[in-house]
Structure 1
Amino acid sequence: MITEVNAVTFRQNLGEMLNQVQYRNDSIVISKDGKPVAALVDAELFARIRRMRDRFDDLTGRIAAAYAEVPAAEGLAEIDALVAESRRRP
């Protein structure tokens, strides 16, 4: 379950919130002035998120290296053509 709280409530209930995350595997979204600014998640989920981010960074780096010699206009035209083609499909 995801719980949303403001920063003041989070600060006042830190121990309880940590227990929610640790024992119930809940996540807490912390807001300031009505805008989400942070999230408290269990350590295992955080580790998975970091691994996924690292894999994504590696993949985007390999794609960028593979297309480094392609002029930007040519690459954008190819992307536009593929997007248009996929939108035509049912």
Structure 2
Amino acid sequence: MVREAPAMTVRQNLGELLNEIQYRGDSIVITKSGKRVAAIVDIALFERLHTIDEDRALQLGNRAQTLPPAPPNEHLVSIDAAQADAEGFGRLAALLAQIDLIPEREDAYDPLPWDEHGLPQ
């Protein structure tokens, strides 16, 4: 049986609670200010839980060894740079679209000489 007991009760009645745990197989959940903070269980249950925890840690360790190493942060930097370039290209495309809307005027002054391909000389 699992039951809850405040920390003060556990402190005052530890011997009695240990007997309940040892001989009846009970478990005690210790509360502090109404929150569950710890548990007292019999040694057989503790050893089973500890073995499960160790096995799980070994499995996680073995899995971590078989996984390829994580890529360095350099890849994140290049992704950020690519995003910035894409945003820059988008702004450039919008600017060029606006320039195409500007009407040509005979009296406009252009200080650059242009070749037959439309490039500045």
Q: Same fold (TM over 0.5)?
A: yes
Confirm or deny that 1:68 pairs with 2:68: yes
CA RMSD of aligned residues (A): 1.6
Correspondences of 1:1-90 after superposition (within 5 Å)? 1-69=1-69, 71=71
More helix by share: 1
| Unaligned runs of at least 5 residues, structure 1 | 72-90
Task: Choose between structure 1 and 2 for higher RCO, CA contacts under 8 A separated by at least 6 residues.
Answer: 1
**Aligned letter for 1:67?**
L
Three-state SS of the structure 2 residue aligned to 1:52 is: helix
Normalising by structure 2, what TM-score? 0.56
More strand by share: 1
Structure 2 gaps of 5+ residues are 72-121
TM-score when scaled to structure 1? 0.73
Q: Alignment identity in percent?
A: 48
